[in-house]
Amino acid sequence: TKDQYILGIETSCDETAASIVKNGHEIISNVVASQIESHKRFGGVVPEIASRHHVEQITIVIEEALNKANMTPKDIDAVAVTEGPGLVGALLIGINAAKAFAFANGLPLVGVHHIAGHIYANALVQPMEFPLLALVVSGGHTELVVMKEDGQFELIGETRDDAAGEAYDKVARVLNLPYPGGPHIDRLANESDGAVPFPRAWLEEGSYDFSFSGLKSSVINYQHNAEQRGEEINPNHLAAGFQQSVVEVLTAKTLRAAREFKVKQVIAAGGVAANKGLRTSLVQTFAKENIPFFVPPISLCTDNAAMIAAAGNSMFSVGKTGDLSMNGRPGLEL
Ligand code: KG4
Ligand code: ZN
């Protein structure tokens, strides 16, 4: 059978990305233009600024993905693009670029769910085995997804308030750390010789949902009370206490789900999957449990277009294509 080359495009948040993936698992090129520097001084992603950057970068990034692969549009079999969820203005830039590329070159168009993309990042590293459990933790998401087979997703738990990465970024702000704060909290926690005891949000018995806003408030109150007493807080102890609470709950719920759904593989995905404390905890837990556990390399954990191409390849292979009426869907369900 003929090799299948997918051009992936991702613009749902603050990365403008394009990539070419062969047969759903081999990265031929992977280009990411990050906007972090432009959003840093605002302490978060500003939608209007994100859209403007995407407009400036999108054609450059797509051309670079083709050039690095030494390919022309004639070599591409289909265009996969993030359809949602995400910032609508940002999504529309990628979708319109994908539509134009598909129309001009007579190619099929595939709309990909951003979270499906994060999960399929794993297909770029090792074959996915089903039933599979995915923990997707990023700046916008905290989700537990069971895949009984390829292309089939069951959302079994999600955050009821802040996403894990969002909580990291907000706690980082309490400590005056730059955006995005996750990696800084991770570093402080790893260098710590103690931890403030913060609460764990287990929610109702049996629930796979998450909640991080209570923990975030505890951290803010702790800092506030110390300030009022004129005491200096130990940032390492605060970061370590926060991280322990997040990691313990994420690990315990992932383990319980892995057992209940008798999965053959557990994967972590999304920017927070880069967290050292979380990786260590999950690796140790699933080694003991004897369930294969994988996390893609950091460059594939954070937003990129190779993961969108990989997910798009799986959809394209079974004829799940879209058309030129595709629209940005900020609240798209998995
Ligand atoms: O997947 P991603 O790049 O973008 C979204 O789709 O949201 O995730 C970004 C998020 C940010 O909140 C960032 O603080 C967090 O991932 N993050 C981390 C770490 N590295 C990135 N959080 C905790 N520990 C890290 N090492
Ligand atoms: Zn993401």
Could you read off the pLDDT of 51-61 as tens digits, one per residue? 999 999 999 99
How open is the CA angle 92-269-149, to the nearest 5 degrees?
90
Token pair listed for 131:
């039933």
Euclidean distance between CA atoms 237 and 62, whole angstroms:
44
Contact predicate 50/30, CB 8 Å = no
Contact predicate 111/81, CB 8 Å = yes
Mean pLDDT of 19-31: 98
Per-residue model confidence (pLDDT) at position 145? 98
Mean pLDDT of 267-280: 95
Per-residue model confidence (pLDDT) at position 46? 87
Contact predicate 134/151, CB 8 Å = no
Name the 3-class secondary structure at 313: helix
What pLDDT, in 10s, does the model give residues 252-272?
999 999 999 999 999 999 999
Q: Which of 142, 272, 275, 282 to mutate to test the pocket of ligand 1 (most atoms within 8 A of CB)?
A: 272
Mean pLDDT of 132-138: 97
CA of 251 to the centre of ligand 1 (A): 17
CA of 222 to the centre of ligand 2 (A): 30
Q: Do domains 5-120+301-317 and 129-295 have the same CATH topology?
A: yes
Per-residue model confidence (pLDDT) at position 218? 97
User: Given the CA of residue 298, which atom of ligand 1 is nearest to it?
Assistant: 20
Per-residue model confidence (pLDDT) at position 1? 76
Per-residue model confidence (pLDDT) at position 140? 87
Q: Give the residue extent of every domain in the chain.
A: 5-120+301-317, 129-295
Residue 172 banded pLDDT, cuts 50, 70, 90: very high
As a whole number, the mean pLDDT across the chain is: 96
Residue 150 banded pLDDT, cuts 50, 70, 90: very high
Q: Which of 168, 186, 276 to mutate to test the pocket of ligand 1 (most atoms within 8 A of CB)?
A: 168
Report, at the CATH architecture level, how domain 5-120+301-317 is classified: 2-Layer Sandwich (3.30)
Q: Is the peptide bond before 180 cis (omega within 30 degrees of 0)?
A: yes
What is the chain's Cα-based Rg? 20
pTM of the model: 0.94
Per-residue model confidence (pLDDT) at position 311? 98
Euclidean distance between CA atoms 310 and 307, whole angstroms:
5
CA of 271 to the centre of ligand 1 (A): 3
Per-residue model confidence (pLDDT) at position 204? 96
CA-wise closest residue to 178 among 12, 74, 270, 41: 41
Euclidean distance between CA atoms 111 and 8, whole angstroms:
10
Contact predicate 157/133, CB 8 Å = no
Ramachandran region, residue 200 (left: φ > 0; alpha: ψ -120 to 50; beta: rest): beta
**Cβ atoms < 10 Å from Cβ of 176:** 9
Q: 129-295 in CATH: which number?
A: 3.30.420.40
HEC secondary structure over 258-275: HHHCCCCEEEEECHHHHC
